[in-house]
Amino acid sequence: MLEVVAALYVERNGVYYGLPGVEPWGLPERDAREYAGPHPVVAHPPCSRWCRLAGLVEARWGHKKGDDGGCFKAALASVRTFGGVLEHPAYSDAWPAFDLPRPHTGGGWQRGICGGWSCHVEQSRYGHRAKKATWIYAVGCDLPDLKWGSVADQRPEALVSWCGNHTDKFDQRPRLGKKAAARTPDAFRAVLLAMARSAAQPLAEGAGC
């Protein structure tokens, strides 16, 4: 029997909708902050208040950096409670804010003090049109060997995600639109779902801090 996975903070009618064994939760129709189990999760909490542009947005429009309405905090709690995986842009300021282990760009998994594991992976290796460097945090999952390695930012033909996390502020390469940049490639989605389905349920009390 296919293990059910809750996909949190996903776009309505996006790549997680209509899949067998996937229960999608988005905003505002089904508030992922209210997820109460029991299934393991794949969480894609909003990144706009944590990425490279968040400081600029705060300076210009007053939207405070890190003020995402509690989305990242709730996503992290779901991963630690029910098992699964959380995905965010590489170099996300949520990592130091929540004391998550900083991964190495060269590949492999780094363990944190709470028992979770982080890694760096670039979604271009799974079919994304931009490099889309990504950090993953996993709890209670099998930790697969992913397509490790980092593509040089200097390639002139490389597209840049709309947020441009950790790129030079003078970078003039073409940027993907927000919707295209946010889309998860099918091959990468399959990796995340497989990881979540491998999570032991339920996790031991206190296993995720």
Say if 207 falls within a structural domain. no
Say if 190 falls within a structural domain. yes
Spatial neighbors of 88 by CB under 8 A, at least 6 apart, are 44, 45, 47, 50, 72, 94, 95, 134, 135, 137
Widest Cα–Cα separation across the chain: 51
Q: How many domains does the chain have?
A: 1
Say if 203 falls within a structural domain. no
Query: pTM of the predicted model, to two decimals?
Result: 0.84
Q: What SS3 class is residue 57?
A: helix
Domain span at residue 57 reads 5-197
Q: According to the model, what pLDDT value does residue 153 have?
A: 58
Q: How does pLDDT run along the chain (209 residues), one tens digit per residue?
A: 789 999 999 998 999 999 999 999 986 779 999 999 999 999 999 988 687 665 555 555 455 666 799 999 999 999 999 999 999 999 999 999 999 999 999 999 999 998 899 999 999 899 887 788 899 999 999 999 999 987 765 454 444 454 554 555 555 556 666 676 777 999 999 999 999 999 966 565 555 56
- 203's tokens: 């996790």
Q: According to the model, what pLDDT value does residue 183 have?
A: 79
How many degrees, rounded to 5, is the angle at CA 45 between CA 93 and CA 145?
Answer: 80
